[in-house]
Structure 1
Amino acid sequence: MPLSELVEVDNTFKDRMEIRRSILNDHPEATKQCNKVAEAAVLEHYDWMVSTYLPRRFPTIYKPTSTAAGPQLYNCVSKTSIPIRPASPMAALDALGEHVDTDFLILLPSSTAVDGSPIYHLEAFVTCFPAGFSTREKCGNPLAAIHKPVPGYEAKLEKSMDRFFAKLEVGRGVKRANWSISTNDKLYSEGGNHMYAEDEKVDKPVENAKTLDVNSPNLDEDVERQKREVVVEDCRLRCERQTLHRLPKTKALVFSFKTYMYKLSEVKAEGSGPELAAAIDGLAQGSVPAIAFYKRGVVWGAKVKEYLLS
């Protein structure tokens, strides 16, 4: 993709800014973090975004201004200002989180493999809309550890992803999209959207408790209980528009994602019900059938498909 497509703005922008501001205020430690090694990269990314990218890409939304406090970037939608020179890397993350409807994760080659190739670690982030995981728990970890709960990642994707990340050139951007079904409309979710095996559980606050223990002797009962609790009207098609590019000075990688939520009634109204129902069936028919369990398809799948095809 051209870098002009890195950030997208739509008619939800004003509402999303309010939601993001609220989440940043309510969950300051969960939504942003910066390890020492990533400070320069965070500031480089911030400087490019507020000095170059945002005012050039969206000139009717972000306007450069000068005040007694110094140069600012004025957000014409929220009617608030963004400092061109942030007080700290954490302040930079806070401003990006509040003023751009995109979550940013900074990755650096913090370790090396046996063959000498770089291994990228998550070293800083601002994420207002995690999709059922805790970003703060993953900060500092390499890609393999971050994706450990994902079925098939180690066997099918780990080596190719490490190579791809290492070879991505400055000036080149890539994008992809994913989808899942959530059983609620919460944009901010640190848990509850996935299922994990016992050896993947860690101690964490109650709000981050894993959905199910797949080794529990009561697993079938737990699944049936959660099936009964599914309310189709509360379910959402949740999609992420993900992008990746490299910063020219620090050579850090910036992984970004914008979250979209759709009511299932909207999916039906546009005539895509059968297509989504087929995709749900496809979760268990691909090269990694365990993905259907990981995404909780065994809980919401039947009710959602019935509704989509009705």
Structure 2
Amino acid sequence: MALENMPLSNLVEMDNTFQDRMKIRRSILDGHPEATKQCNKVAEAAVLEHYDWMVSTYLPQRFPTIYRPTSTASGPQLYNSVSETHISVRPQSPMAALDTLGEHVDTDFLILLPSSTAPDGSPIYHLEAFVTCFPAGFSTREKCGHPLAAIHKPVPGYEAKLEKSMDRFFAKLEVGQAVKRANWSISTNDRLYSEGGNHMYADDEKQEKHVENAKTLDVNSPSLDADVERQKREVVVEDCRLRCERQTLHRLPKTKALVFSFKTYMYQLSEVKAQGSGSELAAAIDGLGQGNVPAIAFYKRGVVWGDKVKDYLLS
């Protein structure tokens, strides 16, 4: 899982894109209200706990020049000095809490609860609430309510190599402990919001019903090779981006829910080359198909964009 321990103070990161990203996030929340946020009944208390801690404690203490406690005629507020707007400390509902977090924190949050148990009695965590403005080629709303195993079903090697260790780790993570990991992929466009198109795998339902701009292929199709070649021709290397996620996980003290969060970064390939990291990224692309789960190269569509991206990075 490549996890690292980290202090709780580092759960959220800020950078000089914050103002622009808030505008992007608000636009996505407004344009895709059902896709970007959802809260099942079982997760309402956890969402409100997470919100209260974020706006009353974490944000004003960690970033005091950006988020400042204040008071208005309508009650206590948190003032966002970048957007020059007030955030209610007491949200009208869990969904309103998710919407506010979605706009004012450049991080996506997913709430997980032990909604079922394994035959041995150990807890199985399910995704029960979320606000995700920047999904990386998956539909979060289609996964809400499902256990980790079902959510990760399309990921090659998950069931055989990660499922049991993930379940054990999620069950044992203590309050006050936080961990992080990094994930990366190459996308063939610059869209931060993407419900589909970044992965290729066999899906029993062929296609999630809400997904837009999907490039998922059926691995059992007799025309698979021709379909891959067609998609290769469609790749415009100047449109490709290195997409990275900074992922964190911690547990809430009252509801004991787990909060999985991720912040998304996207870089033009020209930026990677300019920093002198072109050959390193090209080697990492080769490594996708050389690890203990070679199928990951297909899953991440490396068979489509890999050659063009590597040629560019090494040119």
TM-score higher than 0.5: yes
Aligned to 1:220: 225
2:139–2:210 contact (8 Å) kept in structure 1: no
1:201–1:210 contact (8 Å) kept in structure 2: no
Structure 1 CA distance, aligned partners of 2:213 and 2:253? 36
1:136 aligns with 2:141: yes
Pairwise CA distance, 1:200: 5.5
Match of 2:254 among 249, 260, 273: 249
Describe the SS at the equivalent of 1:19: helix
1:1-310 alignment runs, 5 A limit: 1-199=6-204, 201-205=206-210, 207=212, 209=214, 211-310=216-315
- Letter paired with 1:28: P
Describe the SS at the equivalent of 2:61: helix
Pairwise CA distance, 1:251: 0.2
2:139–2:208 contact (8 Å) kept in structure 1: no
- Letter paired with 1:133: F
Pairwise CA distance, 1:203: 4.8
Describe the SS at the equivalent of 1:199: coil
- Letter paired with 1:170: V
State the percentage of identical aligned residues. Answer: 89
Which residues of structure 1 form unaligned runs of 5+? none
Pairwise CA distance, 1:214: 1.1
1:198–1:215 contact (8 Å) kept in structure 2: no
Q: Please, which moves more after superposition, 249-258 or 195-204? A: 195-204
Structure 2 CA distance, aligned partners of 1:59 and 1:304? 42
Describe the SS at the equivalent of 1:25: helix
Pairwise CA distance, 1:205: 3.2
- Letter paired with 1:49: M
Structure 2 CA distance, aligned partners of 1:199 and 1:251? 34
1:24–1:128 contact (8 Å) kept in structure 2: yes
Structure 1 CA distance, aligned partners of 2:241 and 2:45? 38
Pairwise CA distance, 1:209: 3.9
Structure 2 CA distance, aligned partners of 1:205 and 1:122? 18
1:169–1:246 contact (8 Å) kept in structure 2: yes
1:212–1:219 contact (8 Å) kept in structure 2: yes
Change (3 A) 1:134 1:198: closer
Describe the SS at the equivalent of 1:4: helix
Describe the SS at the equivalent of 1:299: helix
- Letter paired with 2:313: L
Pairwise CA distance, 1:252: 0.2
Pairwise CA distance, 1:202: 4.3
Structure 2 CA distance, aligned partners of 1:39 and 1:174? 24
Pairwise CA distance, 1:266: 0.4
Structure 1 CA distance, aligned partners of 2:182 and 2:59? 22
Pairwise CA distance, 1:210: 5.1
Structure 1 CA distance, aligned partners of 2:146 and 2:17? 33
Which residues of structure 2 form unaligned runs of 5+? 1-5
Pairwise CA distance, 1:199: 2.4
Structure 2 CA distance, aligned partners of 1:208 and 1:57? 38
RMSD value over aligned CA atoms? Answer: 0.9
- Letter paired with 2:234: E
Structure 2 CA distance, aligned partners of 1:209 and 1:262? 22
Q: Structure 1, residues 134-190: CA drift from partner, whole Å, max 9, x if none? A: 000000000000000000000000000000000000000000001000000000000
